[in-house]
Homo-oligomer: A and B are copies of this chain.
Amino acid sequence: MQPSIVILGAGYAGLLCALQARKLLSADDASITLVNKHFYHQLITQLHESAAGARSDRSIRISLPSIINGKDITLVKGIVQTIDTKNNLVLLENNKSLAYDYLVVALGSDTEYFNIPGLKEHAYTLKSVNQARLIRTHIESCFARFPYEQRPELLRFVIGGAGFSGIELVGELADALPKYAADAGIDVSRIELYNIEAAPGILPGFDQQLVEVAQRSLESRGVKFLTGQPIVKVEDSIVHLRNGESINTETMIWTGGVRGNQLVIDAGFNTDPRGRAIINQFLQSPNTPKVYMIGDCALVIGENNRPLPPTAQLAWQMGIATGKYLYHDIKGGTKAAFIPHIVGSVASLGRKDAVGKVLKSYRMYGKMAYMAKEASNIRYLTKIGALFKNEPFSSTLSNVSQ
């Protein structure tokens, strides 16, 4: 019988891994099983748009059966409970299990709450289409209730965390909230939008010049930044800050931390203190080389010897690389070490603005950065499309040997 590849998670990393592996390996070479919580792939880099009502949920949810149709990839809808590396088994809900010869763990990240009391219980998070819908419908109901209840906390919105995800969400809300107010016949000046960050400034890792551009853009749209201000406790609707002040709000959204996946820790894999799986240069778990760990659940060290932040482009590259590694595992040949190519990053700041850097040197802001951001989204969909259509996929193998 041919070897079985089981891939856990159909996010950017897992889906591209499955498509790349199937591109290189025929159904006779290996079976491929893709396990995912939903029957859809999620464009999670667009979730901030969905949470603010600027994009439909449907456009962010891509049917997995339609992508893998006719490709001899078995899709299993299920939630992974544990990984049994001794017996090469994945255990799903309802006592179902899947045997594997090669396992790819691409289960994404968990939220890091830094043990802040009440934060997990009282804050929304934005890691799925369903969570985005929860946030969006909650915000809309705040505006609908305000004319009856008149409580200022209904129109006070607090985003915890000024990293990439937090700032993109703040930008989107800065554009969307005034529209909701106008629709509900509420004076726009009643809206309060806070961004709270423990670090001294917003967008850590970005050039200071871009940070200032972003901050000015958002402040001009009414955003109030509270930087250098850790959250110390969250009660039902009260966010307590270290300086003793507190903010009363019906809407607290936490984007302030990510960590590896608890399932990876529970399965006994080695992780760093933030729960990210330790992997070798071929993205394998060092002691169990038949297990690949890719995407946000894994730790990748960058050129400056510091961990790379978990991003879609990194997950995407790890997925493609692992598809190729699996080909070499089964068909032979030499693997080349994984080298991430971070070509830049662009943070959107709402519907019309963005800041970004490309190839670590060229800075962008405003309309041009926004266009680049849109282009990167389109590029991803094109890439899935190319793998999906079985069209010639340029430099499929050559990249590995670079």
Binding site for B on A (CB under 8 A): 38, 40, 56-58, 61, 129-130, 133-134, 136-138, 140-141, 143-145, 147-148, 183-185
Contacts and interface: CB of A to CB of B under 8 A. Distances in A.
A226 to B, nearest CB: 28
A184 B134 CA distance: 10
A328 to B, nearest CB: 37
Nearest to A182: B58
A144 B134 contact: yes
Given A61-B185, A133-B143, A138-B144, 17 more contacts: A40-B185, A56-B183, A57-B183, A129-B185, A130-B144, A130-B148, A130-B184, A130-B185, A133-B144, A134-B141, A136-B144, A137-B137, A137-B140, A137-B141, A138-B141, A140-B141, A141-B141
Contacts of A129: 185
B38 A185 contact: yes
27 contacts: A38-B185, A56-B183, A57-B183, A57-B184, A58-B183, A130-B144, A130-B148, A130-B184, A130-B185, A133-B143, A133-B144, A133-B183, A133-B184, A134-B144, A134-B145, A134-B148, A136-B144, A137-B137, A137-B140, A137-B141, A137-B143, A137-B144, A138-B141, A138-B144, A140-B140, A140-B141, A141-B141
Q: Summarize A's interface: helix, strand, loop or mixed.
A: helix
A144 B140 CA distance: 12
Question: Shortest 7 CB-CB distances between A and B: which pairs?
Answer: A137-B141, A137-B144, A133-B144, A137-B140, A134-B144, A130-B147, A141-B141
Nearest to A145: B134
Contacts of A148: 130, 134
A144 B139 CA distance: 12
A79 to B, nearest CB: 13
Nearest to A147: B130
A56 to B, nearest CB: 8
A78 to B, nearest CB: 16
Contacts of A137: 137, 140-141, 143-144
Contacts of A56: 183
Nearest to A132: B144
A259 to B, nearest CB: 21
A82 to B, nearest CB: 23
A212 B144 CA distance: 36
Nearest to A183: B57
Contacts of A143: 133, 137
A145 B130 CA distance: 9
Contacts of A183: 56-58, 133
A143 B138 CA distance: 11
Contacts of A147: 130
Contacts of A38: 185
A26 to B, nearest CB: 33
A157 to B, nearest CB: 15
A170 B129 CA distance: 29
